Amino acid sequence: MTDMSVWQQSQPPVTGVAAVGFDSEALVATLGRSTVLAQCSRQELARLIPFFRHRELQPGEALCLAGQPAGDMWLVLQGTLRLKRADESLLEISHGFVGEEAALGIGSYLADIVAIGPATVAALAKDAVPPVLLGQNARAEAFGRSLISAFAPTRFDPAPVAAAPDRLPPVLALWKALGWIAAVVAPLLLLQLVADSGLRWEQRQLAAVLVSTGALWIFGAVPPYVAGLLVVLVCVTLGIVPASVVLSGYASNGFFLALSIFSLGTVLVESGVINRIFLLLMKHCPRSAFWHDVAALFSGFVLTPLVASSRDRVRVLAPLAVESAETLGYHGGSRDRTRLLLATFMGLSLFSPVFLTGGALNLMLYGSLPEQVQDAIPALRWVVAALAATVVMLGTFFAAYALVFRHASPPREPRTTIDAQLTLLGPVRPTEWLAVGGVLLFLGAVATVSAHKVDHRLVALTIVCGYLVLGQLGRTHLNLHIDWSTLMLLGTVIGLISTIVYVDLHGVIAAQLPWLSHTMANNPRLFVAMLAGVVLLGELWIPFAGTLIAVIAVPLGMFNGMNPWVIVFVILLM
């Protein structure tokens, strides 16, 4: 599921209404000529349009006064403004921005800004300023404000800077310390208990390693991928299994499928084609609150199998949903705005389990399955097998939607604003065509695998290699936009399951828990219910609890003749 905190962080707390009453051509032309916005991409400029607010000024009317809180900056569309500083110096501005103090983090305006004659400006709240214009270096920001303070005739208080905490909260520090203590004590106790159990040396050592790293994982003493690497390190150092076994995950088909899907998603997100398609969908959607909500839900649904990283899906679609709310006239905090954002969020998160490529955890657990099971359940068959769950989730969502959101205000006509955004985006670029072409090729290969018999994993890797050759996927994309920590965890989990099977530790566990083996073999429905409950409880406080449970549950399922895909799917649903 998509992390709700990530979703909240991706939404700018914007105030104001969409740009209505503007001459859209003049606004687009002015934005395109702005030197201040030269660092912004076409996508970022297009995203600004719904947040501009139209304002007409009469001769002599003040836009702001020195010392007032700096909340907006203004783009001059027509007319001339006069800036008057505290030292009585004057400056006339007929194009570009004024009130940039709002974007620089300065708490108040440094000059009076008054219209000389009739003037038209477009107001932009500081919360809607593109991230590229905001300082990424705290030291550079501090030096910049210090320089402005030295030369500005009006004194101002520097913006407060939140200092990063140097220490962990006491409760969290204690919890992690308990994890380290358990990681040392628990394996020693286990080795003492199984000393005379008849287990082979490698079985005893692997069990101790699993208990130790499991304690670090559960208590959050180290990130999950670090815990996985510790297992690899100890197994290779002690010679518990050959290195080729414990490292087999990094040479597996599942690992390369995950790498390929992450790369495809990165190309799709960074190309900007998602922005364009979403705008076109909202433009041609029937003018109804219900259909706009369905379009938002559908956008998340379609994006889920194409972009495996939930953070990337939120990063690209959450701002678009907020912009659409502004365009449709849904004010901040309104019921209509909440309804649209909820529909988008549900589309992004609700249907992740029903697609093989719907999330990082999906790819991780798919990679943990035996090769013959992976071959038996390709991407399309996964969707078919999960069809019943999809129908139930859709039905539940629309039933709740009809019950909670019965009355909706009619949305504002969005075409004028969207047309201006599409104008700023310009014609479709080659990078967008390549991104769409790669996705269509992959989906077509998956849909027709029975005809051409080419493995979908090989198709995905081939497309990624093509992107690398054409420069569509560069070093920056690989370094910054690929979730390497998840890939590292995936490789170690696959290798760990192979290690458990190699030393027959799953057989030992099954012999020690005969009631569980009996339940799996003779009452699978009860086992599914038990598994769902354990996963649900585990996810409340253990990161990647489903992965940790799968490390034991998948080998046990294989040992007791239960289809391990069922175990994986139940974990994902929870």
Map 161-173 to HEC letters.
CCCCCCCCCHHHH
The DSSP letter of residue 350 is: T
β partners of residue 96: 76
Taking the C-alpha atoms of residue 319 and residue 275, their distance in angstroms, rounded to an integer, is 10
Closest CA to 337 of 369, 383, 289, 294: 289
Q: Is 86 exposed, middle or buried, given 0-12, 13-18 or 19+ CB atoms closer than 10 A?
A: middle
Instruction: Please list, in sequence order, all residues whose beta carbon lies within 8 angstroms of the beta carbon of residue 461, skipping any fewer than 6 positions away.
Output: 256, 257, 259, 260
Whether residue 502 contacts residue 243, with contact meaning beta carbons closer than 8 Å, is answered with no
DSSP code, position 130 = -
- Identify whether the C-beta of residue 503 lies closer than 8 Å to the C-beta of residue 241: yes
Q: What is the pLDDT of residue 178?
A: 92
Place of tokens 């955890």: 361
**Taking the CA of residue 314 as centre, how many other CA atoms within 13 Å lie in the half-sphere pointing to its CB?**
22
CB environment 10-23: b (16+ within 10 A), e (fewer) = bebebbbbbbbebe
Q: Which residues 6+ apart lie within 8 Å of 187 measured at CB?
A: 208, 209, 211, 212
* Structural contact between residues 187 and 234, judged by C-beta atoms closer than 8 angstroms: no
- Amino acid, res. 468: L
At residue 309, what are phi and psi to the nearest 5 degrees? Answer: -80, 120
**535 contact partners, CB below 8 Å, separation of at least 6:** 545, 546, 549, 570, 571, 574
Cβ atoms of 247 and 448 closer than 8 Å: no
Q: 63, 81 in Cβ contact below 8 A?
A: yes
Instruction: Quote the distance between the C-alpha of residue 268 and its chain's center.
Output: 14
Give which of 368, 342, 352, 162 is closest to 255, Cα–Cα: 368
Q: Which residues pair with 446 in a beta bridge?
A: none
Q: Which of 503, 514, 505 is nearest to 552 (CA)?
A: 505
Contact 211, 551 (CB under 8 A): no
Q: Give how far the C-alpha of residue 84 lies from the chain's centroid of Cα atoms, to the nearest Å.
A: 45
First to last CA, the chain: 9
In 3D, which of 38, 63, 52 has the Cα closest to residue 416? 52
Per-residue DSSP letter, 329: T
Q: Which two tokens stand for residue 19?
A: 């740009």
Kindly state the DSSP code that residue 399 receives in the 8-state scheme: H
Q: Which of 14, 127, 111 is nearest to 63 (CA)?
A: 111
* CA–CA gap between residue 381 and residue 456 (Å, rounded): 12
pLDDT in the model for residue 153 = 62
Contact 73, 51 (CB under 8 A): no
Q: Residue 426: left if φ>0, alpha if ψ -120 to 50, beta else—which one?
A: left
The token duo for 302 is 């379609």
CA atoms within 13 A on the CB side of 134: 9
- The ranges of the chain with pLDDT < 50 are 1-21
Query: Residue type at 3?
Result: D
Q: How far apart are CA 465 and CA 84, in angstroms?
A: 58
Q: How far apart are CA 8 and CA 354, in angstroms?
A: 24
The gap from C-alpha 71 to its chain's centroid, in whole angstroms, comes to 29
Note the pLDDT of residue 161: 54
